[in-house]
Structure 1
Amino acid sequence: MSVIPTLDETDLLRRQDPELAEILLGELARQSTSLQLIAAENFTSRAVLAALGSPLANKYAEGYPGARYHGGCEIVDVAERLAVDRAKALFGAAHANVQSHSGSSAVLAAYAALLRPGDTVLALGLPYGGHLTHGSPANFSGRWFDFVGYGVDAESGLIDYDQVRALARSHRPKAIVCGSIAYPRHIDYAYFREVADEVGAYLIADAAHPIGLVAGGAAPNPVPYADVVCATTHKVLRGPRGGMLLCGSPELAERLDRAVFPFTQGGAQMHSIAAKAVAFGEAATPAFTAYAHQVVTNAKVLAAALAGEGLGVTTGGTDTHLITVDTAPLGVDGRSARGRLAAAGIVLDCCALPHADARGLRLGTAAVTTQGMGQEEMPRIAALLGGALRGDTEAGRVRDEVRELTGRFPPYPG
């Protein structure tokens, strides 16, 4: 057996811990036999998985390359420098920090670098697609800072940019956050930069969802406009679960690095950083560019097909991998719809619906596109989803069709 385990090398784990081995194999089977439509999830490559399971997991490496608090970091320093260089080149950033353990950790570090408790921050309100770190009272952001929420137009569902400017002028925030977990359209980063400059605010772009599309040239790049870009390395980017920070100012770069370590985190997870380097390398290829554009094409086709099934598609469609829909036209609320679809092998999330006292569904096309599905498969997915929600097709029958479809597109062939 090789030093680096693969999906096929389960014999050792079966012998040593058969209970856990069955759990891991069960999860692989779940992922392989149901439709993975959660917008924040994807399938990493085998190379990324290999890096995650590598001996770098053994190394303690507090600090940064060349300035660690532990000995024996010569090799992991090379791995981190490689990840940083690849991230900078991929996104056109002057500086990258790849140590954040998650997207939320990256946002926490950005706030720690730029703000002080009590500062005013302008961000998309949670009912309109803002993230927990954009001012939720249950989160550190809502407890430590004074968040003001902007919203979306009641008719179009698009960001109300006039309201953004008016609120910025009225509240004079220390920072403005642009980004969302449920907004399917491109964000006008140039406009946000203009408003931030007008009121003397920092601009923080939370690009956790679109950053993979940015890497593939399928979405606008926030790096030239934002003071700090926070992002995840999973989702469309198809790397390990983790976060990163990008910026262009040397002065801000030093503050960001200190905000990650030692202020908010301890030792870097070197196996994850190595896996990020692998993902950045993969994202710099023509194959990934084609993939990112296919993700968007699939999302547009799926959104149109879902509308054809009677679902209410917010904003009338999508520019990205992400789609949000209202299930009320089919006579079912979002939470019940999610459960009904899960029983049929279709996995997705609930989300808040703007200007509605109800929840809808959020879904994305990153994972199914990684599996090789194209625009030909999207109408079938919409039909399976619509049939399950309307109740005109039994869940067991939909489940069988889902198994047939995913069987033709396994996430890890062989």
Structure 2
Amino acid sequence: MKISTKTNNKGSVYNRTTPVKSSSLEPKIAKFFGAVTQHLASDNLYRKDMLSLTASENYQSFLVRMLSSSHNSSFYSFIPPYNVESAGEEWFFPDSDSRKEITALLRETGKAMFHSQTFDERPNGGSGAEQAVLLATCNRGDGWLHFSAQDGGHFGNEALSIKAGLEEHHFPVDPTTGLIKIEELNTILKKHQNIKLLLLDQSHKLRYQPLAEIKKLLQPDVLLAYDCSHDMGLIVGGSLPQPLLEGADVLIGNTHKTFPSVNKAIIAFADKNHPLFKPVSDWVCPFLQSNSHHELTLPLLISLMEMKVFGKDYAEQTVKNAKAFAKELREQGFNVSGEHFCYTKTHQVHLILDSRQEALKAVSELLPSAGIRGNNIMIPGHNAFGLRLGTQAITRRGMKEEEMREVAKFLAKVLLKKENPTKIKAEVKELLMDFSLFPLAYSFDFLVDDDLGKSLLMEVLSK
């Protein structure tokens, strides 16, 4: 490493031509690097030894993690998903043709996998993607409809809706089946003809909704949007239907839950000529964000290719694991939501506990002490609180139905039998020793020691 000539306030000089060794750094700087390294080492150990059952996180493969480190990570990218006739009068940044080619390859791959005519990878998160759709579709006084918090709806848009002067409505949901009640929805739509947007934004999702039936109820000027943040990986893997083929006009979702990639989001329209395509795109950038973090474009592309190659097997195993997990939890004595439809058809499993306090204590004290991570939520369809658990991350570690039954027994020991969490933590750690974070299942991790992977990493980490 070489550092340009600079004089600090004490008069010391680092010479541009002399490599700086760690021993020549001031003690407080050396201590700083030592502390940061120790924090990172502790976090790596935590990830390695914790059984992650959160439904909203996943593990990125080694290549995906490394590919955000290239030189282009410091530079802007404004490439819109629609054709631009000229560079414009302002904010033109000359750039390499290679970045444009990578973006084009990503978008063509995404369109093919989601059966869409457009693909926008620029949103920096799922909430921003939803907000772009909401703001582009609705004007002050218009109505929109989504899931209530009780039924698993996302929390991110209601405050914005109030501020924008929009009229908010909620889907009517059958508490037993978990499905939208079509006849009651039709009544709402007829009564409130100012509704311009239906946003299926469930975060607590045990099954797929009847999109085709919903689409039949809508007038041509009403947008049907499906948020696939939680089930994106299951959709591209074929375990759930493709929303754009079922009648949705636009697909949105973040890319780090069942889809095991970076913290980004996508927006994909079924029809490139849809009148809201460009307005939604412009709300993403430049209105809501000016930096689309192009350093994540290549990792996202590799993730798409991983899912193209391994997605079917990964999605099928994720759902199989969730079903086996739910069944064993019930056998162990837990109250598992969704009995009417065999508990789950996705990656999620919902445990009903007695109270908000019990659910909070489970995820903040008891389970972490046993080496297990989960989330506490209000359980859809029940006037109760509990745990939202997911199988996508541990499926990436290579676990199958047999291990899921063992994991269910871990939870029973901690939460039902009140056994010592420290003892269970040792059992969890022993189980995880056979399911390391490298190489991950259903990934390109095997390429790291291959000439293809080495060449790619050499360019990414080019000095």
Instruction: Give the letter aligned to residue 91 of structure 1.
Output: F
Corresponding residue number in structure 1 for 2:16: none
Asked if 1:165 corresponds to 2:191, the answer is: no
Q: Distance in 2 between matches of 1:333 and 1:95?
A: 45
Asked if 1:213 corresponds to 2:229, the answer is: no
Task: Check conservation: 1:79, 1:274, Cα contact below 8 A.
Answer: yes
Corresponding residue number in structure 2 for 1:264: 288
Task: Check conservation: 1:49, 1:275, Cα contact below 8 A.
Answer: yes
Asked if 1:350 corresponds to 2:376, the answer is: yes
Q: Distance in 1 between matches of 2:54 and 2:45?
A: 17
Corresponding residue number in structure 1 for 2:416: 390
Distance 1:270 1:369, change over 3 A: same
Q: Of residues 319, 322, 334 in structure 2, which corresponds to 1:299?
A: 322
Distance 1:308 1:100, change over 3 A: same
Q: Distance in 2 between matches of 1:350 and 1:308?
A: 21
Asked if 1:363 corresponds to 2:383, the answer is: no
Corresponding residue number in structure 1 for 2:41: 25
Alpha-carbon distance, 1:74 to partner:
2.4
Asked if 1:115 corresponds to 2:132, the answer is: no
Q: Distance in 1 between matches of 2:302 and 2:201?
A: 26
Task: Check conservation: 2:204, 2:380, Cα contact below 8 A.
Answer: no
Asked if 1:308 corresponds to 2:328, the answer is: no
| Root mean square deviation of aligned Cα | 2.4
Alpha-carbon distance, 1:334 to partner:
1.5
Find the residue that maps to 2:244 and give its secondary structure. Answer: coil
Task: Check conservation: 2:353, 2:384, Cα contact below 8 A.
Answer: no
Task: Check conservation: 1:324, 1:363, Cα contact below 8 A.
Answer: yes
Instruction: Give the letter aligned to residue 269 of structure 1.
Output: H
Q: Which of structures 1 and 2 has the bigger CA Rg?
A: 2
Q: Distance in 1 between matches of 2:361 and 2:218?
A: 41
TM-score by length of 2: 0.81
Find the residue that maps to 2:116 and give its secondary structure. Answer: coil
Instruction: Give the letter aligned to residue 395 of structure 2.
Output: T
Instruction: Give the letter aligned to residue 290 of structure 2.
Output: G
Corresponding residue number in structure 1 for 2:107: 84
Corresponding residue number in structure 1 for 2:63: 47
Instruction: Give the letter aligned to residue 305 of structure 2.
Output: G
Distance 1:86 1:376, change over 3 A: same
Find the residue that maps to 2:433 and give its secondary structure. Answer: helix
Asked if 1:283 corresponds to 2:283, the answer is: no
Q: Of residues 124, 139, 152 in structure 2, which corresponds to 1:129?
A: 152
TM-score by length of 1: 0.90
Task: Check conservation: 1:133, 1:142, Cα contact below 8 A.
Answer: no
Q: Distance in 2 between matches of 1:402 and 1:151?
A: 41
Task: Check conservation: 2:348, 2:389, Cα contact below 8 A.
Answer: yes
Distance 1:247 1:349, change over 3 A: same
Q: Distance in 2 between matches of 1:347 and 1:102?
A: 23
Distance 1:45 1:14, change over 3 A: farther
Find the residue that maps to 1:196 and give its secondary structure. Answer: coil
Distance 1:54 1:14, change over 3 A: farther
Higher mean C-alpha deviation, range 14-23 or range 173-182: 14-23
Distance 1:37 1:48, change over 3 A: same
Q: Structure 1: which 5+ runs fail to align?
A: 2-10
Q: Of residues 386, 404, 408 in structure 1, which corresponds to 2:434?
A: 408
Instruction: Give the letter aligned to residue 260 of structure 1.
Output: V
Instruction: Give the letter aligned to residue 333 of structure 1.
Output: E
Find the residue that maps to 2:330 and give its secondary structure. Answer: helix
Counting aligned pairs with the same residue, the percent is 26
Q: Distance in 2 between matches of 1:343 and 1:142?
A: 41
Deviation string, structure 1 residues 205-264 (Cα, Å, up to 9, x no partner): 111111111111111111121111111111111110110001022233322222212121
Distance 1:141 1:386, change over 3 A: farther
Corresponding residue number in structure 2 for 1:245: 267
Task: Check conservation: 2:349, 2:389, Cα contact below 8 A.
Answer: yes
Q: Distance in 2 between matches of 1:48 and 1:117?
A: 41
Deviation string, structure 1 residues 7-35 (Cα, Å, up to 9, x no partner): xxxx9x99982322222222221111011
Q: Distance in 1 between matches of 2:55 and 2:335?
A: 18
Task: Check conservation: 1:92, 1:223, Cα contact below 8 A.
Answer: yes
Find the residue that maps to 2:119 and give its secondary structure. Answer: strand
Distance 1:14 1:406, change over 3 A: farther
Q: Distance in 1 between matches of 2:270 and 2:179?
A: 29
Q: Distance in 2 between matches of 1:38 and 1:142?
A: 30
Q: Distance in 1 between matches of 2:378 and 2:207?
A: 16
Alpha-carbon distance, 1:160 to partner:
2.9
Instruction: Give the letter aligned to residue 406 of structure 1.
Output: L
Q: Structure 2: which 5+ runs fail to align?
A: 2-21, 23-28, 441-463
Alpha-carbon distance, 1:143 to partner:
3.3
Deviation string, structure 1 residues 172-221 (Cα, Å, up to 9, x no partner): 31111123100211111111211223x85211111111111111111111
Task: Check conservation: 2:52, 2:393, Cα contact below 8 A.
Answer: yes
Q: Distance in 1 between matches of 2:420 and 2:359?
A: 19
Q: Distance in 2 between matches of 1:53 and 1:359?
A: 41
Task: Check conservation: 1:349, 1:362, Cα contact below 8 A.
Answer: yes
Task: Check conservation: 1:232, 1:241, Cα contact below 8 A.
Answer: yes
Distance 1:200 1:254, change over 3 A: closer
Q: After TM superposition, where is structure 1 displaced by more than 6 Å over at least 4 residues in a row? A: 13-16
Q: Distance in 2 between matches of 1:127 and 1:42?
A: 25
